[in-house]
Structure 1
Amino acid sequence: MNQIDFKKYNVGAIIRPSDNREALKQQIGFLVKVVDALGIKFSDCEDDPLRLAKDYVNGKIPIEVCKAEASVWWAKIDEKGAIRDFQDKDVLLARLAICLLSNDEDEVSVMGDNLSWFLEVLGFLKVDMMTPMKMMIEYFDFK
């Protein structure tokens, strides 16, 4: 699988569960899998966003707990005045944390945008994008 047919395997072609909660859990489960596989760690935080996302996917906490913690990560970006900074590693990690935490079961229509942004942030982190792209193809079903 050296060449990926991006027309076939694009974010907009993902087949999602009809239940909003299950669709969101599926997507967050993918984000968690990618962050784990890439060995990305979050520092300087009281509540690890990766653990919180896993707890949501496993039904241990409601999405509202994650959304509340996302505001902490937004504050880290704001305090650095880094709203347009796409190079600082700490700011990019904060953006990844927000991708994991800032989701809503009532707004599944934006999941494609959120997944695209997650992949874009990984690109800013200079991740070899073949790994998450291959994982996406294996994880999701496509139209």
Structure 2
Amino acid sequence: MANEENLKKIRSTSEARELGKKGGKASGKSRRKKANLKNALNTILTAEATSETAQILEELGFENTNEMAIMFSLTQQAMKGNVRAIELINKMATSEKDDLDRKEQRARIKALEIANKAASEHQNIQDEQLIIVDEWKDEDG
């Protein structure tokens, strides 16, 4: 249960700054490591395949890359009845469409919100009562 005895004391500005620096440096290091890993994987996937699958890919007119070899092998597994392979292919085939659909939907919603805001502002202007004063009367007279 929380009480004053087990709460951490408020850190000074300099302590908070030092901890922030440490966290920032660790975050940057982690990001660079992740980016390097992604680049390495991309290099491996785009390299030429050197298996019998490579020959089949060339005969079928596909790119001879490790990426295409993996996709070809995955397709073969799915055709043999591997449910996980089927699920993965389905997910890969539909995920891009879903992302595009979501982007399009967000754009449409934003456009509708802007149109609704403009319409309501226009409606507010029309709803205001206009008073035309031909002569101005002073309170005194």
After TM superposition, the score normalised by the length of structure 2 is 0.24
Which has the higher Rg, Structure 1 or Structure 2?
2
User: Which is bigger in relative contact order (C-alpha 8 A, separation at least 6)?
Assistant: 1
* More helix by percentage: 2
After TM superposition, the score normalised by the length of structure 1 is 0.24
